[in-house]
Amino acid sequence: MQYYILPLRIHGSRAWISGVPPEISRFLDWLEDILHLHEQILDIFRGPKPNIILQMSLFLPRFEIYQPYIVRLGEVSQHLRRLMDEGSDIGSFIDLQ
């Protein structure tokens, strides 16, 4: 998050800086949602252990956030590669990271 998402956001906001294509920003929003889900799961493993199975079962429906990310992964990867090859600002940023 700190290398790819936060630098492309307007400081203190969930809005994206200009120049981030909408399909890339949506993709990064999905990635951020996935990262937050995994942070919450990690908190479960760090907490008390007695109800870990019950707690994890409550998270299962939330894994649907992976669907749009997985479906668009190939397309967005190709778009990013094209932006990097063209030397666009966002492509150069991704290339540097």
pLDDT digits (tens, 9 = 90+) for 23-82: 999 999 999 999 999 998 888 888 777 777 887 788 888 899 999 999 999 999 999 999
What DSSP character marks residue 14? S
45 in any annotated domain? yes
2 within domain boundaries: no
Q: Which residue has the higher pLDDT, 86 or 59?
A: 86
Assess contact for 44 and 9: CB atoms under 8 A. no
**Distance (Å, rounded) from C-alpha 97 to C-alpha 69?**
21
Is the residue at 48 inside a domain?
yes
- Could you list the residue range(s) of the whole structural domain that residue 70 is in? 21-96
> d(Cα 44, Cα 64) in Å, to the nearest integer?
19
- Residue 13: its pLDDT value, please? 86
In the predicted model, what is the mean pLDDT of residues 12-16? 88
Structurally, the chain folds into a number of domains equal to 1
Nearest C-alpha neighbor of 26 from the set 64, 63, 76? 76
Q: Which pTM does this prediction carry?
A: 0.80
pLDDT of 72: 95
What per-residue confidence (pLDDT) applies to 54? 81
Residue 31 structure tokens? 């990635």
Q: Is residue 4 part of a domain?
A: no
Contact 68, 30 (CB under 8 A): yes
